[in-house]
Amino acid sequence: MEDRILGLHHITAIADSAKKNLDFYTKVLGLRLLKKTVNFDDPGTYHLYYGDEVGSAGTILTFFPYEGARHGRAGTGMATHIGYAVPEGSFDFWINRFKEHQVEHGQPSEKFGEQYIPFKDPDGLQLELVIPKNTDSRKPWETAEVKADVATRGFHSVTLTLRNADKTARILTDIFGYKLQEQSGSHYRYLTNAVDTAAIIDLVEEPNANRGDGGAGTNHHIAFRVKDDKVLMQFREKIASSGLNITEKIDRNYFYSLYFREPGGVLFEIASDNPGFLIDEPLAELGTHLLLPPQYEPHRAKIEAVLPKLD
């Protein structure tokens, strides 16, 4: 069981204003800022992590906010929708909250027998609040305004939009161990039984839709979870032997990663649980310091001078 893909680890998206992004996800949606660091490939840009109290895998949404970034367009070859699990009876709270904060949202709808509310973040990233069929018992992060009885529990699902779903589905089933749970028209729901939450990948097949165009308001990649970097490398061997190009192991400070582009065009990552988010900040102080990878620490003053203010 432990040598399997354990559902979703994190999802990374692109934003415009770092301040608007921070305010929306912490103040409106009520997530915890877990880490304030920089893009390892572009240290003049933040990398912001949001999630539950401890940064549990399956709750972690991260952003690269590029000030003044052009807006992207969700489309095929992209993760297009992120679903968050919320408790039954919480929709009235969230609809009122979205109205109060002028958040673009739709009315409650249903798919695969579950009620959901679609909404968008300030950059247009497509999100959903979902009441799962099975109660999600994960402990949520609470704020003064978003209490535990309504707060998000972490990821419910992510939707990939594809021109053809067949080869992507085979990655999910043959390599990652997911199974087709249900189909409704061109919508396919895949589920892993390795974990109880953050376990759903929805595939939507749209042969004639426009290809996605990356930019603010779009997802950059989705990351699947494994127990540790030993299991990570077992999956590297499986993916490489299937004929796909995959990176070497990359140290992301809080986890180890591999990246590959699946046949439908979506950038997949596999990320390990180890070493976790407490290696450089105590639990009570998560998200309160600007943390730099060692190679950038000598340039801290220069980096801090170019990063936008978040206070």
DSSP codes of every residue in 140-201: PP--SSS-TTTS--EEEEEEEEES--HHHHHIIIIIT--EEEEEETTEEEEE-SS-SSS-EE
Q: What is the mean pLDDT of the chain?
A: 97
The per-residue pLDDT for 311 is 83
How are beta strands 219-226 and 8-15 bridged, if at all? antiparallel
The candidate with the shortest Cα–Cα distance to 226, out of 216, 237, 212, is 237
Neighbouring-strand partners of residue 64: 14
**Domain residue spans of the chain:** 8-306
Contacts 24+ apart (CB under 8 A), 246-255: 252/40, 253/37, 253/279, 253/280, 253/291, 253/293, 254/35, 254/55, 254/279, 255/9
Average of per-residue pLDDT across 175-186: 97
Q: Are 124 and 81 in contact (CB under 8 A)?
A: no
Please give the average per-residue pLDDT across 38-65, as a whole number: 96
pLDDT at 126 > cutoff 90: yes
Q: What's the confidence (pLDDT) of residue 101?
A: 98
Which residue pairs, CB below 8 angstroms and at least 24 apart, start in 43-49? 43/292, 43/296, 43/299, 43/303, 44/303, 44/306, 44/307, 45/307, 46/18, 46/307, 46/308, 48/18, 48/21, 48/22, 49/10, 49/277, 49/287
* Residue position matching structure tokens 């400070």: 253
Q: What is the mean pLDDT of residues 150-166?
A: 98
Rounded Cα distance, 269 and 258, in Å: 5
Identify the pLDDT of residue 44.
93
* pLDDT bucket at 57, cuts 50 / 70 / 90: very high
Local structure of 294: helix, strand or coil: helix
Mean pLDDT of 177-198: 97
Q: To the nearest whole percent, how much of the chain has pLDDT over 70?
A: 100
How does pLDDT run across 6-17, given as a tens digit for each residue? Answer: 999 999 999 999
Average pLDDT (19-46) is: 97
Superfamily of the domain at 8-306:
2,3-Dihydroxybiphenyl 1,2-Dioxygenase, domain 1 (3.10.180.10)
Residue-level pLDDT at 172: 98
Question: What confidence tier does 72 reach under pLDDT thresholds 50, 70, 90?
Answer: very high
Question: What's the average model confidence in pLDDT over 192-205?
Answer: 98
Give 1's pLDDT tier (boundaries 50, 70, 90).
Answer: very low
Q: Across residues 67-85, what is the average pLDDT?
A: 97
pLDDT of 2 over the 80 cut: no
For the segment 131-154, the average pLDDT, to the nearest whole number, is: 97
